[in-house]
Chain A
Amino acid sequence: MEQTQPALVANDIYKRFPVKKTGQIVEAVAGVSMEVSAGSLTALVGPDGAGKTTLLRMFAGLIKPDDGHLQVLNVNVVTDPQTVQDRISYMPQRFGLYEDLSVQENLDLYADLHGVPQEVRGQRYRRLLEMTDLIRFTQRPAGKLSGGMKQKLGLACTLVRSPELLLLDEPTVGVDPLSRRELWEIIGQLIDEEQLTVLITTAYLDEAERCTRIHVLEEGKLLAEGPPDEIRQYAGDLCFVTAPHQGQPSRVLQAQLLDDSKNIIDAVPQSGAVRFIRRPHARQQDIDALLSGIEVIPVEARLEDGFMVLLREQHQMIPPDTLPFERPALSATTSGENRQSDEKIIEVRDLVRKFGDFIAVDHVSFWVRRGEIFGLLGPNGAGKTTTFRILCGLLPASSGFLQVAGVNLRHARAPARRRIGYVAQKFALYGDLTVRENLEFFGNAYGLFGERLHERIQVVIQQFDLAGREQSPSGQLPGGFRQRLAMAVGLLHEPEILFLDEPTSGIDPLRRRGFWRHITALSEMGTTIIITTHFMEEAEYCDRIVIQDNGRLVAMGTPQEVRGQAGGKDATLTMEEAFIRIVARERERDKSTERAPSL
């Protein structure tokens, strides 16, 4: 039967939530109207807290809108959620896999829950397992799968029956580029072969580019909608690429540009150069002065550029989360040459870490110079967090040599740990304690007391713009504030080395710019920074990076060098492309040699 009706029609939808502690009411969704046409692939994009998940949950009939009309598959989902739920599938951000059950048992369980008849199961399973490439792992417990595989299994479980509409909430968050690519291929296949309608939320804008239609959501309202080309056009003719002076890291130029918010909307380092968006009304002479005569090449706008223009228009000024700090330090040493020395502040040789038979870190060797920004990149489960934890002294190595600031932190006497700062992946401060109590406690921990502690707390509160929040319980701070508090705690004692574990995971582009602006400034002040990330493009901010896959180092060097390793002469690859090439080549080699020890 030909479907001509749209799969989903939302008309002026509102959803309000009361905030328990303050008694205020927050409008999570404020008057959204949209349509999703049948058989299309539609994306909902927007920063964290924009209301994407709330909207999706209303579409799935899990919560009711306070106001407005909502028709899903021609059924009023508000009055008749069960009818809708029988015909759609919804995959929440954290899909409920049973970690102790095997892949097959999880599939069976969801098939039972959805009442999928026995006779169609065999064929459906085969197809799903083939698509997700999980056929070899049917007996493995779901908890032992990698992040990407878990997500694919989640998708397979969601699809045990054929829905008419598929709602996916950020299915690719925290998944490595290779698995992300595979997930999108699966979704594409479903749309082609089963005429499925898919509505997906995502924080990755390069993904949204694959969709037929995009809705940009911000603070509960729709900012824009249209096909990717239309969104892109918001930044049309405003995008340029420029190369920094010889010897100047591109992030320094990028930071300078980003700071001039009057003339520049956005700037990111890219392939050794800087990509920026100028404001439409910026005067040419101001921009020339800013760039002090470096060559500028106009480039085509990407979806992310259009998105950034939209968001910045909304905020006119830089949102508080991205307020840069310590600007003077930046202009003082723009060259950045004198802050780096050849001293190896971290040295790792032949590091191995085993968990039972599983080799999490496989003969890894690298070193870090004092003052560098050093990136540990790799997909989830590649061993970068294990490597990171060994460096911080949180895990013992199975074998190998390891020195951080001249000592092995695991065996060194406690005061040696004063030289490092640590920011965990998820918020790891005392949630019941206030901002000030947390700062005081960790200050004491690092041997800061009395007047000196007071001074330092004042400095970091200023630096990270936490003023006015000192008495709030830190667990109740909004996400951006929490992360800045974690940074403040990590830097309270002015460590020589700062360890950051996946600090940008799950943060939208706007906040990520702000975060990296902090890091750039810190680096200018001489702090060595070790950072793990699965956002490949963030490698561009680093002086040097290593890429880990299956526990082994597959690439090491400056971002330029790593791109070179991946593409030979073609050094204008994006970092993500370089990563996929290197990892795919490495895995190919593994298959042919049955995992001969490399490196």
Chain B
Amino acid sequence: MLDLVRRIISLCRKEFLAILKDPANRVILVVPSLVESFLFGYAATFDLINVPYALLDQSRGAASVELIARLDGTGVFQRVATLQTQRDIAGVIDSQQVLMVIQIGPRFEQQVNAGELAPVQLILDARNSNSAGSAAGYVASIIESYNTTLGGNARQPLTVEARAWYNPNLETRWNLMPGLIASLSMIQTMLLAALTVARERENGTFDQLLVTPFSPMEIMVGKVIPIVAIGLLQSTIVLLVSLYWFEVPLAGSLITLYTGLTLFTIASVGVGLAISAVCTTMQQAMLYTFMLVMPLIMLSGLATPVRNMPEFLQVITLANPLRFAVDLMQRVYLEGADLMMVGYDLIPLLIMSTVTLPFAAWLFRNRLL
């Protein structure tokens, strides 16, 4: 037993040395995950800020001025143009000067005062359906609240009081960062794992390793431990950025978070090693990994919810470790779920590890073709 531990330690040591002695590698280990976590944190957001709009106010009454004041008061909308006629609308939208145009009809003042139905027209640039949708919703809610202040005889019988749990201000970043902790490190651990065996095969060191008394299982464990350690280091970088730069508060416990993360990293190293064991050159390994990473991210629920996908794609996501990891991270990080509550995510990851890792180890000595 002691012998086994010593042998695995020596394998890990070799692996660490081989990875860290390559100066190009040392940079790759830290810099990309740092840069990408900032990049995604800032760039990838659906939140509305500074929405440019144009106003076509044909009534020019007190009611319309007050409504517009409310709109401008949110700080979300920015009026960049004031139109005079209906014909101007198409121009500002087509040129993408504004995301929407608010048209208030000439009889608006009278209608409001008479307690009649007073329509406000919104013309949206739906080329970006996501932002257009949220903008429309936001304007609607402002008009809604303005309605209630009018008093009048048509008092609203029902009102909606929405409380967004786990992300009170509905910020996309909150939704994204926990998922990034898993997915950013996955890209690198998978690549590292895929390249490691391919590199050894190309250099001939793998043969030298196979003729030693190391068993394939030992070689596999000796490869998994260092790469998992590096993967966790990268996750930690993203976690720190999320906690202290973007200040997304952690609701769950670090222990739960890291338990899930470790299991996920092992599963993705398993996938990487399996790729590696099938390839004969580093080029092949790199190509296969990139081919796989994109769909893994698309089907993970990181950008778009899994339940929005067609049925058959939802079934396919069950084979995607990232799908479970993203779910797990979001629930532990934002909701504070404990280990029992995320068992649904942990068990598939466990199954994936136990399938891919022995498969990779078997492939070390045997070939598929």
Asked whether, in the complex, the Cβ of B18 is within 8 Å of the Cβ of A430, the reply is yes
In chain A, positions 479-531 with a C-beta closer than 8 Å to chain B are 489, 499
Stretch from B67-75, B210-218, B343-351 contacting the other chain: B210-218
Is B79 among interface residues, defined by CB-CB distance under 8 A? no
Residues of A within 8 A of B211 (CB): 392-394, 409, 417, 420, 422, 499
Residues of B within 8 A of A393 (CB): 210-211
Asked whether, in the complex, the Cβ of B18 is within 8 Å of the Cβ of A428, the reply is no
A417/B212 contact (C-beta < 8 A), A427-B204, A428-B205, A432-B22 known: yes
Asked whether, in the complex, the Cβ of A415 is within 8 Å of the Cβ of B213, the reply is yes
Q: Which residue of A lies closest to B7 (CB)?
A: A444
In chain B, positions 320-369 with a C-beta closer than 8 Å to chain A are 365-366
Residues of B within 8 A of A417 (CB): 211-213
In chain B, positions 1-44 with a C-beta closer than 8 Å to chain A are 3, 6-7, 10, 13-14, 17-18, 21-22
Asked whether, in the complex, the Cβ of B17 is within 8 Å of the Cβ of A433, the reply is yes
Asked whether, in the complex, the Cβ of A445 is within 8 Å of the Cβ of B210, the reply is no
Q: Which residue of B lies closest to A441 (CB)?
A: B14
Asked whether, in the complex, the Cβ of A446 is within 8 Å of the Cβ of B207, the reply is no
Asked whether, in the complex, the Cβ of A432 is within 8 Å of the Cβ of B18, the reply is yes
Asked whether, in the complex, the Cβ of B212 is within 8 Å of the Cβ of A424, the reply is no
Residues of B within 8 A of A396 (CB): 366
Asked whether, in the complex, the Cβ of B18 is within 8 Å of the Cβ of A433, the reply is yes
CA distance A389 to B14 in the complex (A): 25
Is B208 among interface residues, defined by CB-CB distance under 8 A? yes
Asked whether, in the complex, the Cβ of B203 is within 8 Å of the Cβ of A428, the reply is yes
Residues of A within 8 A of B7 (CB): 444-445, 447
Q: How large is the interface on B (under 10, 10 to 19, 20 to 34, 35 or more residues)?
A: 20 to 34
Residues of A within 8 A of B17 (CB): 430, 432-433, 437
Asked whether, in the complex, the Cβ of B204 is within 8 Å of the Cβ of A441, the reply is no
Asked whether, in the complex, the Cβ of A433 is within 8 Å of the Cβ of B14, the reply is yes
CA distance A432 to B15 in the complex (A): 11
Asked whether, in the complex, the Cβ of A447 is within 8 Å of the Cβ of B213, the reply is yes
Asked whether, in the complex, the Cβ of B13 is within 8 Å of the Cβ of A441, the reply is yes
CA distance A428 to B202 in the complex (A): 9
Asked whether, in the complex, the Cβ of B213 is within 8 Å of the Cβ of A418, the reply is yes
Q: Which residue of B lies closest to A417 (CB)?
A: B213
Residues of A within 8 A of B18 (CB): 430, 432-433
Asked whether, in the complex, the Cβ of A441 is within 8 Å of the Cβ of B10, the reply is yes
CA distance A489 to B212 in the complex (A): 11
Residue among B22, B205, B212, B215 facing the most chain A CB atoms (10 A cut-off)? B212
Is A429 among interface residues, defined by CB-CB distance under 8 A? yes
Asked whether, in the complex, the Cβ of B21 is within 8 Å of the Cβ of A432, the reply is yes
Residues of A within 8 A of B209 (CB): 445
CA distance A292 to B22 in the complex (A): 57
Could you tell me the distance in whole angstroms from the C-beta of A161 to the nearest C-beta in chain B? 33
A429/B208 contact (C-beta < 8 A), A441-B10, A444-B6, A445-B213 known: yes
CA distance A428 to B366 in the complex (A): 20
Could you tell me the distance in whole angstroms from the C-beta of A377 to the nearest C-beta in chain B? 21
Asked whether, in the complex, the Cβ of A431 is within 8 Å of the Cβ of B203, the reply is yes
A449/B14 contact (C-beta < 8 A), A426-B204, A428-B208 known: no
Could you tell me the distance in whole angstroms from the C-beta of B205 to the nearest C-beta in chain A? 5
Asked whether, in the complex, the Cβ of A445 is within 8 Å of the Cβ of B214, the reply is yes
A394/B207 contact (C-beta < 8 A), A432-B18, A444-B6 known: yes
CA distance A532 to B266 in the complex (A): 41
Residues of B within 8 A of A424 (CB): 204, 207-208
Asked whether, in the complex, the Cβ of A444 is within 8 Å of the Cβ of B213, the reply is no
Is A234 among interface residues, defined by CB-CB distance under 8 A? no
Residues of A within 8 A of B205 (CB): 428-430
In chain B, positions 130-164 with a C-beta closer than 8 Å to chain A are none
A445/B204 contact (C-beta < 8 A), A432-B18, A433-B17, A433-B21 known: no
Could you tell me the distance in whole angstroms from the C-beta of A155 to the nearest C-beta in chain B? 27
In chain A, positions 379-397 with a C-beta closer than 8 Å to chain B are 389, 392-394, 396
CA distance A253 to B205 in the complex (A): 37
Could you tell me the distance in whole angstroms from the C-beta of B365 to the nearest C-beta in chain A? 8
Q: Which residue of B lies closest to A449 (CB)?
A: B6
CA distance A432 to B24 in the complex (A): 12
Q: Which residue of B lies closest to A444 (CB)?
A: B10
In chain A, positions 410-466 with a C-beta closer than 8 Å to chain B are 410, 414-418, 420, 422, 424-433, 437, 440-442, 444-447, 449
A446/B213 contact (C-beta < 8 A), A433-B14, A441-B13 known: yes
Could you tell me the distance in whole angstroms from the C-beta of B217 to the nearest C-beta in chain A? 10
CA distance A392 to B208 in the complex (A): 10
Asked whether, in the complex, the Cβ of B214 is within 8 Å of the Cβ of A414, the reply is yes
In chain B, positions 161-193 with a C-beta closer than 8 Å to chain A are none
CA distance A420 to B210 in the complex (A): 12
10 further A-B contacts with Cβ under 8 Å, apart from A429-B208, A442-B208, are A418-B213, A420-B211, A422-B207, A424-B204, A424-B208, A428-B205, A432-B17, A440-B10, A441-B13, A444-B10
Q: 19 A-B residue contacts at CB 8 Å?
A: A392-B207, A394-B211, A409-B211, A410-B365, A418-B213, A422-B211, A428-B203, A428-B205, A428-B208, A429-B205, A429-B208, A430-B18, A430-B205, A433-B14, A433-B18, A441-B13, A445-B10, A445-B214, A449-B6
Chain B residues engaging chain A, CB cutoff 8 angstroms = 3, 6-7, 10, 13-14, 17-18, 21-22, 203-205, 207-215, 365-366
